[in-house]
Amino acid sequence: MTDKLPKIVKNRKKRIGRGIGSGKGGHTSGRGQKGQKSRSKISVLFQGVKVKKSLIKRLPLRRGKGKFSSSAKPLVVNLSILNIFENGQEVNLESLIKKGIVAGQDAKSFGVKILGDGELTKKLKISLPISKSAIKKVEKAGGEIKA
């Protein structure tokens, strides 16, 4: 074994707030002296003082659970509307936009889901998100789902 492996030198990260031997201060550990930021945790929404209105103040007022989650849900298309298509035709996002069933911009940003309201009389090939009740009705009509 005459070949030697290269020596790899990797500096470990400084463990802040663990005394003088940690390599980062000790007493205040790089946090300055006083104030909110020098003490324990700060809220995720905190953006500093007197700079601009914080994010939470700029958002519209919403209460309860899911306050910060997006409220964007997919566009709903019922099965009865899909009778516009011919037998054996494929139903996808482009075909729905082409037929004018959904608006193109909204469909691409929010998506489309097919729900089982109404009756389907055509055999269609569906390649979109679809509810369980709609799957039963499509298969009963002789169509297929490509999801």
* CATH number, domain containing residue 113: 3.100.10.10
The CB density around residue 89, as the number of other CB atoms within 10 Å, is 15
Which residue has 């936009």 as its token pair? 97
**30 occurs within a structural domain:** yes
Q: What is the pLDDT of residues 102-144, one digit of tens each?
A: 998 989 889 999 999 989 998 999 999 999 999 999 999 999 8
**29 occurs within a structural domain:** yes
Instruction: State yes or no: pLDDT of 146 exceeds 60.
Output: yes
Q: What is the pLDDT of residues 20-77, one digit of tens each?
A: 877 777 788 888 888 888 888 887 767 766 667 777 777 788 888 877 777 788 999 9
Does residue 134 sit in the same domain as residue 83? yes
Does residue 130 sit in the same domain as residue 84? yes
Which residue has 């003490």 as its token pair? 39
More confident residue, 70 or 9: 9
pLDDT value, residue 125: 92
**116 occurs within a structural domain:** yes
8 Å CB contact between 20 and 26:
yes
Does residue 28 sit in the same domain as residue 81? no
Number of domains in the chain: 2
**43 occurs within a structural domain:** yes
Does residue 136 sit in the same domain as residue 94? yes
DSSP state letters, 83-136: GGSPTT-EE-HHHHHHHTSS-HHHHHHH-EEEE--S---S--EE-S-B-HHHHH
* Domain assignment of residue 105, given as a range: 75-145
pLDDT value, residue 126: 92
Instruction: State yes or no: pLDDT of 1 exceeds 80.
Output: no
Does residue 35 sit in the same domain as residue 85? no
User: Six-digit token pair at 146?
Assistant: 């490509």
pLDDT value, residue 19: 81
pLDDT-based confidence at residue 147 (cuts at 50, 70, 90): low
Does residue 79 sit in the same domain as residue 138? yes
**24 occurs within a structural domain:** yes
Last residue of a domain, which of 60, 92, 114?
60
pLDDT-based confidence at residue 81 (cuts at 50, 70, 90): very high
Q: What is the pTM of this model?
A: 0.53
**84 occurs within a structural domain:** yes
77: helix, strand or coil: strand
The CB density around residue 138, as the number of other CB atoms within 10 Å, is 24
**140 occurs within a structural domain:** yes
**96 occurs within a structural domain:** yes
